């Protein structure tokens, strides 16, 4: 297993590097049902909500007059200390099911960790979403852990691994842990993600193919679990309102400085101009963001949020 690497001690990280994971986006056909599932299954809480009656989602390819309800679900560590699952219920244009000919999503599962799989399994069965045990366990951050998976109301795979509580964990059932992703060329993908700050926590090869686990050096709360599948195929890009996991958001200190640095670096390919997304009914009021697409089309959003506004733990989870 490879040890994580980060910035040298005493040196500031490069300006384009993300310092924390803010949220993973999941587009839903039924917001209230999806919110109720995650709250009941994992004990997460809707800590922020935004209702958009006439928004401008041109930067996302959805036009200048959109409507949606967004709910941010946090585990009990809270908004500054942990990432969220961002559920978006689009009404104009409405959330659409994936269509034949569209490229498969780069995001294949969202992951939580719990202290007891047995207790969670019983709860999922009671909710009508029975779990399937993983006979070989689940590989997360280079460790094979007892695990299970289920599907949420939108058909999204939800992975759960059993991990004893670590210092500082709240006494809650679900801690947002990871996103599982697919790529066609692992080396190319690792170079792309390294350019925005991710480092290898572990890397290897098994019966499922080459894999790697990535973390942000300043944020041990969340990991990306990649598996290489050269034959997964191409297709038309998925619209930003497509049902299921669509993008993730990472925090950077200065989005415009990050855009300039990434353009000069070259590993991210074409870098568009940052845009401002108003969210007037939330505490932040909105964000300046940069939308990027990784080599297989998965959308990664860089959002301007200074390090001083987050408090990630210093020890790995």
> What is the second-level CATH architecture of the domain 20-309?
Roll (3.10)
Most confident of 25-39, 112-126, 208-222: 25-39
Tens-digit pLDDT profile for residues 231-257: 887 778 899 999 999 999 999 999 999
Report pLDDT for 227: 97
What's the rounded Cα separation, in Å, for the pair 86 and 172? 19
DSSP string, 105-154: PSEEEEEEEES-HHHHHHHHHHTT---EE-TT-EEETTEEE-EEEEE-TT
Q: How far is CA 261 from CA 18, 217, 256, 299, in A?
A: 12, 19, 9, 19
Tens-digit pLDDT profile for residues 47-90: 999 999 988 899 899 999 999 999 999 998 899 999 999 999 99
Instruction: Tell me the pLDDT band of 148, cut-offs 50, 70 and 90.
Output: very high
Report pLDDT for 120: 92
Report pLDDT for 220: 85
DSSP lists the bridge partners of residue 304 as: 252
Does the structure show a pLDDT above 60 at 9? no
Domain extents in the chain: 20-309
Q: Phi/psi zone of residue 36: left (φ > 0), alpha (ψ -120 to 50 degrees), beta?
A: alpha
Report pLDDT for 15: 77
Does the structure show a pLDDT above 60 at 6? no
Percent of the chain whose pLDDT exceeds 90: 70
pTM for the structure as a whole: 0.91
């Amino acid at each position: 297993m490879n040890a994580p690497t980060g910035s040298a001690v005493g040196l500031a990280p490069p300006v384009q590097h993300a310092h924390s994971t803010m949220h993973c986006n999941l587009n839903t056909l039924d917001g209230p049902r999806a919110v109720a599932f995650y709250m009941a299954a994992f004990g997460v809480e809707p800590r922020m909500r935004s209702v958009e009656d006439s928004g401008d989602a041109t930067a996302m390819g959805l036009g200048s007059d959109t409507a949606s309800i967004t709910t941010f679900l946090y585990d009990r560590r809270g908004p500054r200390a942990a990432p969220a699952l961002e559920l978006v219920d689009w009404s104009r244009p409405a959330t659409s099911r994936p269509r034949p000919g569209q490229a498969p999503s780069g995001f294949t599962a969202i992951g939580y960790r719990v202290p007891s799989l047995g207790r969670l399994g019983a709860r999922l069965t009671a909710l009508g979403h029975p779990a399937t045990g993983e006979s070989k366990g689940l590989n997360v951050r280079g460790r094979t852990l007892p695990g299970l998976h289920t599907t949420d109301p939108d058909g999204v795979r939800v992975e759960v691994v059993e991990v004893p509580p670590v210092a500082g964990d709240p006494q809650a059932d679900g801690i947002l842990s990871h996103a599982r992703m697919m790529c066609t060329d692992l080396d190319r993908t690792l170079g792309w993600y390294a350019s925005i700050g991710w480092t290898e926590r572990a890397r290897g090869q098994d019966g499922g193919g080459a894999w790697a686990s990535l973390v942000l050096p300043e944020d041990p709360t969340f990991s990306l679990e990649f598996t290489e599948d050269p034959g997964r195929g191409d297709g038309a890009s998925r619209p930003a309102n497509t049902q299921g996991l669509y993008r993730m958001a990472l925090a950077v200190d200065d989005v415009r400085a990050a855009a300039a640095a990434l353009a000069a670096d070259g590993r991210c390919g074409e870098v568009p101009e940052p845009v401002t997304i108003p969210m007037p009914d939330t505490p932040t009021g909105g964000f300046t963001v940069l939308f990027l697409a990784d080599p297989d089309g998965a959308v990664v959003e860089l959002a301007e949020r200074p390090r001083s506004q987050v408090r990630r733990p210093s020890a790995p989870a």
